[in-house]
Amino acid sequence: MSTLAAPSPATPGPPAGGLRRLFGLRRVFVTLLVSAFTGMLLASASMSPMFIVVARALIVGFTALVAFGVFEQWPRTLPGTMPRWLLQLFGVVVAVPVAALAAYWITLGGPPEFAKYPPRWNGYKSLVMGGMFFGLWTTLGAMVQQREAFARQQALSFQLERSELERQALDARLRLLQAQVEPHFLFNTLANVRELVVSGSPQAPQVLDSLIAYLRAAVPRLHGTSTTLAQELQLVRSYLELMHMRMPDRLQFSVQAEPAAEALRCPPMTLLTLVENAVRHGIDPSEEGGRIDVRVAARDGRCRAEVADTGAGMSTGAGGLGTGLATLRERLAIAFGGDASLQLERLEPRGVRAVVDFPAQPA
C-alpha cells in the first residue's frame, strides 16, 4: 500500500521530480493493486460492504504513497548522517494510522466513535496492521529496486565520464602531435624557398608568392583534428606544384583520386606528410630526381592512399623515413582507434611506396 520508488543512498535527496515523480505511473499502479488486494482480504472478515473496505484501503495506500514521495524529495539535505530511507519509512509508519482514521471518518460521514462500536475499532486496527504489513514490505522492496537502479545509473555515469576523459586525453594527444608536425612541415618548406633565394634563382619571387598563397589555405587547417581527403588532395597538389617550381627538371608528379574517396575524413596532413617525406628523402637526395604518384581509392568500407616515388629509396636497415611518419602513425592510431595502418614498401629498381589504410568514414 505504498510506492515503488526509493531514495538515493546518500544523505542529500535525489533530484527533485515534483508531482510527476511523486505520482509516477508505475508506483500509482502498484499502490492501487496492493491497496485493492489488502482491502479485499480485510473485507472477508468485516461487517462493512466490500467496496467500503476497499475504499478505506485505497485511502491508506495513496496517503502512504504521498508520504513516501514527499520525504523522497524533501528536505533536500538531511542533518548529520541520517539516511533518507529511514525518514521515508518513518513517514509511512505515521501516515498509515492517520490515513486509516481519515478513511473511517470519510466513509462514515463523521467521527467513527470507536468506543461505542467495538467491531468498528477492530476493523480500524485490522486496517492499520494490514496497511503497515503490506505498505512496509512494498516500500522496502521498492527501496531495494531503487538502490539497484541507482547503482546502475552511477556505474553508467562513471563509464560515460571515463569515456569522456579518455576522449579528451586523445584529443589533447592528437593536438600535441599536430603541433609537432606544423613546425616540421613549415620549416622544411621555408628551407626550400631559402635555397632559391640564396642561389639567386629568378624563380624565387614566384615561388615565394606561391608559398604565401599556399600557406594562407594550409595553415588554418593545420589546427583541426579532422579534414577531408578532397581538402588534403588540394594541399598536396599545391605543395607539389610549389616543389616543381623549385626543381622543374627533377620532379614530376601525378595526383589521382576516386570521387567517392574525396568526401572521407582523415587527420590533417596525412597525405601531405607522405608527400613531403617523398620529396625530402626520395627526390632531393637523388641526382636524377624522380616522380611522385599519389593515388586514393575507397573499397569495401576502407580507404587506401598511396604515395609512391622513384627517388633515392630507403637506406639499408632503415625502419622508417623520419619523425614525420612516426608521428603520422600515432595520429592515425588515435584518430581511428587503432583501425588504421601505415606501411612502407621498397620499389624496384628504386623508390619507396607509402600506403595508408583506414576506415572509410564520411566527414
Question: pLDDT digits over 275-294, tens only?
Answer: 988 998 899 898 889 999 99
Q: Does 208 share its domain with 147?
A: no
pLDDT tops 60 at residue 7: no
User: How large is the greatest C-alpha to C-alpha distance in the chain, in angstroms?
Assistant: 122
Q: Distances in Å between the alpha carbon of 145 and those of 4, 8, 72?
A: 8, 11, 15
User: How far, in Å, CA of 32 to CA of 22, rounded?
Assistant: 14
Of 128-132, 208-212, 351-355, give the range with the top mean pLDDT: 351-355
How confident is residue 316, by pLDDT bands cut at 50, 70 and 90? very low
* Domain range for 254: 201-359
Q: What's the one-letter identity of residue 202?
A: P
221 within some domain: yes
**Residue 49, pLDDT score:** 92
State which of 116, 138, 163 marks the end of a domain: 163
Over range 287-307, report the average pLDDT. Answer: 94
Q: Which residues pair with 290 in a beta bridge?
A: 251
**Residue 278, pLDDT score:** 92
Q: Does 97 share its domain with 237?
A: no
184 within some domain: no
308 within some domain: yes
Q: Does 255 share its domain with 156?
A: no
Q: Does 78 share its domain with 211?
A: no
190 within some domain: no
Long-range contacts of 235-238 (CB under 8 A, 24+ apart): 235/269, 235/271, 235/272, 236/271, 236/272, 236/275, 236/294, 238/210, 238/213, 238/214
278 within some domain: yes
Q: Does 29 share its domain with 149?
A: yes
How confident is residue 172, by pLDDT bands cut at 50, 70 and 90? low
> Residue 206 sits in a domain of what CATH number?
3.30.565.10
**Residue 224, pLDDT score:** 58
pLDDT tops 60 at residue 323: yes
Query: What's the total number of domains in the chain?
Result: 2
Q: Does 158 share its domain with 295?
A: no
**Residue 99, pLDDT score:** 93
174 within some domain: no
pLDDT above 70 as % of the chain: 81
- Cβ atoms 68, 91 nearer than 8 A: yes
pLDDT tops 90 at residue 45: no
Does residue 349 have a cis bond before it (omega within 30 degrees)? yes
- Cβ atoms 27, 4 nearer than 8 A: yes
Q: With the C-alpha atoms ordered 316, 319, 322, 324, is the resulting torsion angle positive or negative?
A: positive
Over range 68-87, report the average pLDDT. Answer: 81
Select from 79, 81, 88, 84 the least CA-distant residue to 4: 88
Q: Does 99 share its domain with 214?
A: no
For cell 531495494, what's the residue? 144
Q: Does 147 share its domain with 255?
A: no
pLDDT tops 80 at residue 29: yes
Instruction: Quickly count: other Cβ atoms within 10 Å of residue 216's Cβ.
Output: 9
Question: Between residues 148 and 6, which one has the greater pLDDT?
Answer: 148
How confident is residue 318, by pLDDT bands cut at 50, 70 and 90? very low
Q: Does 50 share its domain with 98?
A: yes
Q: Does 260 share its domain with 152?
A: no
C-alpha cell at 31: 499502490
250 within some domain: yes
State which of 133, 163, 193 marks the end of a domain: 163
Q: Give 185-204 pLDDT, tens digit per residue.
A: 567 667 767 777 787 777 77
**Residue 15, pLDDT score:** 44
For cell 626543381, what's the residue? 247
pLDDT tops 80 at residue 349: yes
**Residue 325, pLDDT score:** 85
Q: Does 211 share its domain with 264?
A: yes
